[in-house]
Amino acid sequence: MRGVSAPERRYVITFGCPDRTGIIARISGFLAEHGGWIVEAAYHTDPDTGWFFTRQVVRADSLPFEVEVLREKFGAVAASLSAESSWQVSDTGERKRVVILVSKEGHCLYDLLGRVAAGELDVEISAVIANHPDLGDITRAHGIPFHHVAFADRKAEAFEEVRKLVGQHDPHAVVLARFMQILPAELCAEWSGRVLNIHHSFLPSFIGARPYHQAYARGVKLVGATCHYVTADLDAGPIIEQDVIRVDHGDSIADMVRKGRDIEKVTLSRGLRWHLESRVLVHGNRTVVF
């Protein structure tokens, strides 16, 4: 039986700058000058901010240098177009690392573990960190280190412990998979642009405890979920993905909770995939997702 060949190694360039004529020609001309073979290209201009966005995917074997040299050379192009820090070059040959933070609810963790085990999500889950021990067995069953950090009466110390644990892995993404703690502002800043959260989309209509009970009492017809980047503004960071599933008068509260968990799982996995594939460009509090 013939084996499955490894995916072609590619370099992904994401870029944003003030819009003007000649941007695409400048980027494509730079790549053509060095023999770069573009296999994907996407563009968008935001008329409200006058900002241009692009994502370019290039065959790695078409260039005469490695990704570090590409970054150095492309940096000059970015500077000439006033991109400042709004660009990056990533390498699909580097397996992405993810650290997951959880509490007691396991549906999002189970889903991500299953996708990785099945090869559907080609990432390395470097560690799972939890403020409760409940999900330790399932994590260790997948061969992944599990760290229980007690938060009771020691929240500042606990978050410092979490910070150090995450830092050991230098992950490309930190995923709050129903982690029922609010990140302090300093961690939001340190992990800016790589910490993702998932929550139900009843906010701001049904605030506080028992949101599904509140929604049931109001007879809502849609249950949704939002995946977003975490900022110091609670649940108000740039949105990566949202989705909904219908409910009706025949659904119980338990049915609504089950459907809500289903949509949270798929929305989080999509958002994480798009982040790791460098498909999400952030500008202010909005995103462009290619």
Looking at residue 246, the DSSP 8-state letter turns out to be: E
Mean pLDDT of the chain: 94
pLDDT at 3: 52
pLDDT at 285: 93
CB atoms within 10 A of CB 80: 11
- Local confidence band at 85 (pLDDT 50, 70, 90 cut-offs): confident
pLDDT at 4: 52
pLDDT tens, residue by residue, 129-183: 999 999 999 999 999 999 999 999 999 999 999 999 999 999 999 999 999 999 9
pLDDT at 204: 64
Q: Write out the two tokens for 287.
A: 């995103």
Using only C-alpha atoms, the chain has a radius of gyration, in whole angstroms, of: 21
The sign of the torsion formed by the CA atoms of 66, 71, 73, 78 equals positive
Residue from 170, 235, 251, 255 carrying the catalytic annotation: 235
pLDDT tens, residue by residue, 211-245: 889 999 999 999 999 999 999 998 899 999 999 99
- Local confidence band at 209 (pLDDT 50, 70, 90 cut-offs): confident
Cβ within 8 Å of residue 252, ≥6 positions away: 216
To the query of whether residue 137 is one of the catalytic residues in this protein, the response is no
| Side chain identity at residue 69, one-letter code | V
Least Cα distance to 197 among 137, 150, 267, 114 occurs for: 267
- Above pLDDT 90, what percent of the chain? 90
Mean pLDDT for 43-72 is: 97
